[in-house]
Structures are given as structure tokens and as C-alpha cells.
Structure 1
Amino acid sequence: MRVYLPCTLSALAELVAAGELGPAPLTGYAVTPALVEWYVSGDTEELEYVALTEAARASLRMLAAERAEEIKDIEDVKAAGRRVVIAAEVPDDMVKVGTDLEDRGRVRLLEPVPLAKFASVHVDDLDAVPDVAAAMAALPAADAGDDDARFVVDGAEDHELMWYATQEIPYLLT
């Protein structure tokens, strides 16, 4: 099963050093039966894009949490404004599909994901950094129901994530 795992550049560096993404359980996004039922008109590619987008939203929240922990290095500022999503191919029995109607594509991975299972990495271009930073700042107000803040958060999604092959991961981290 193809799963999309939210991440950040700093977390990506840590998992490369560890050789796997973990510990389990991990939250990911995939084309689930509930997503297929909800998005009746889409083909597999469109549904995978929806799952990728959900993972990118989760990455934005991870970035906001990292930012709240205080950024110590100027390079971290550049990294902090970029969403990261890992696409991985994992066995079906490693994935638990939930029944949450709000997060139709959310899944739980029951084991850590080794680097060998990574299919690709998707990362914001540097041009997205200002909009992603604005979206991080607007998250609390958006969560409280502020429509203007939701518009700012949605603005980060105007930026397509760039696709990188797994062998390009070291270049992303330098």
C-alpha cells in the first residue's frame, strides 16, 4: 500500500541517520475505502493526491510545533518553512485503516518504516517558505474558526510539493 507520511526536514535528517521512520505507531495518509467512497469521481491518481495533500497539512502542524520549540540556527529557519511528505510502499498488514469520517484518508502504521520502503520525498520549494510561515502563524486562529486565518492556511496549499527520488535525500539535507 502506498502511504504518505508527514515529516519535516529536521525529522528527515534524524530518520536518515536512524535508517527508519519511527517509532510506531505512525500516522499516515492513504487511499482508503472511506476516501474512495467520499471522492466518488476520482481516479487513483487524484485520490493519491488527496492523501498527499492531507499529509502536507499534517506536516504544516509538525512545522508549527518545531517552530514553537525555538529555532536555534539560521539554517533551521530555512528548513522550518518547508513541508515534507514521504511516500512509502508498505505491506497492507502493516497499515491499520481507521473509520474516522473527518479524516477519511488517515491510517496508522503499526511498525517503523525503513528507508528501503521509501518511494519518494515531496518538499516545498524555497519560494513557498513565506506562505508556509504565514500559514504556521495563522494555525491557532484558523483552528478557532477564523475564516481569514483559514484562507491564509489554505494559501500554503497553493504551492505544489516538489518530487524527489530517494537517492536525492542527502541533497535535500545539505
Structure 2
Amino acid sequence: MRVYLPCTLPSLARVVSAGEVGPAPLTGYAVTPALVEWYASGDTEELEYVALTDAAKASLRMLAADRADGVDVAARRVVVAAEVPDDLVIAGLDIDERSRVRIPAEVRMKQIASVHVDDPQAVPDIEAAVAAVFSADAGDDDARFVVDGAEAHELLWYATQEIPDVLA
């Protein structure tokens, strides 16, 4: 099953160094039965895009949490796409995030299919969204509008052999 794992550039560097995404358990996003039921008219590609978008929003929350902890992190969302055996993917029942899943094991580098990262031109909108994401989660409509502005930016696709270039 294709699973989208939220990440940041510093955590992606740790993934490369460690040779895995971890420690387990991991939270990811995938095409779950709940997502299929909710988005009944979508094909597999559309459903995977929804899961990728949910992971990108989780990456935005990771950036905001890092900033709140005083970590200097670039304002670029990162999502790692990996192939995980179906029997290791545990779908949740979260109504707000129908694509959210848990993975009880680390994800090895060889399981990573690609990495998706914001274009540097998106940074101003991502900066604004990082500052607004927790307010948006709390129901602030103005903050949601700012976060939606970040979500309007498509993530760029990188093959695994391009990860060193992304981190450079």
C-alpha cells in the first residue's frame, strides 16, 4: 500500500542518515476504506492525492511544532511516499482525517518510492501557514484561509536518488 509520511527537511536528513523513517509507530496517510467511502466518486489517483494533501498538512503542523520548540526549520512541507505491506497499515476511524493510518514498524529506505517537497517559491505562503495552522485547526476561518493558500501549492516530486539534491 502506498503510504504518505509527513516530514520536514531536517527529519528527511535524519531518514537518510538512519536509513529508515522511525521510530515506530508512525502516523501516515493512505487510501483507507473510510476515505474511499467518503470520496465515492474518486479514482485511485484522486484518492492518493487526497492522502498526499493530508500528509502535507501534517507536515505543516510538524513545521509549526518545530518552530514553537525553537528549531530553525525551512518553511517547506515534505512528504515521503513509501510502499508498506498492507498488513502493517492500520486504518483509523478519524472523521476529520479519513486517510490517517498507523504503521507499527519503521519504514526502510528501500520502501521509499519518492519524496514530495514544496518549491522554494512557495516559502512565503508556507511561512504564513506555519504561523496560522494551529489557529486554523482550532476553527479560525481567517487562519484556514491562510492554510488553504499553502495547500494551493503543488508539492514537487523527487525520485529517491534525488534526495541528496533536495537536502543540499
TM-score by length of 2: 0.96
Match of 1:62 in 2: 62
- 1-side partners of 2:3 and 2:28: how far apart? 6
Q: Which runs of 4+ in 1 moved over 4 A?
A: none
- 1-side partners of 2:157 and 2:71: how far apart? 26
Match of 1:131 in 2: 125
Q: Which amino acid aligns with 2:58?
A: A
- 1-side partners of 2:98 and 2:85: how far apart? 20
- 2-side partners of 1:5 and 1:64: how far apart? 17
Q: Does 1:169 align with 2:160?
A: no
Give the superposition deviation at 1:69: 2.2
- 1-side partners of 2:14 and 2:154: how far apart? 24
- Give the one of 130, 142, 149 matched to 1:155: 149
Q: Does 1:50 align with 2:44?
A: no
| Matched pairs, number | 168
Q: Return 5+ residue gaps in structure 2 as ranges.
A: none
- Taking a change above 3 Å as real, the CA distance of residues 113 and 62 of structure 1, as seen in their structure-2 partners, is same
Match of 1:37 in 2: 37
- 2-side partners of 1:24 and 1:89: how far apart? 16
What SS does the aligned partner of 1:87 have? strand
Give the superposition deviation at 1:71: 4.0
TM-score by length of 1: 0.93
- 2-side partners of 1:60 and 1:144: how far apart? 15
Superposed CA deviations along residues 102-142 of structure 1, whole A, max 9, x for unmatched, are 21111001100000000000000001100000001112322
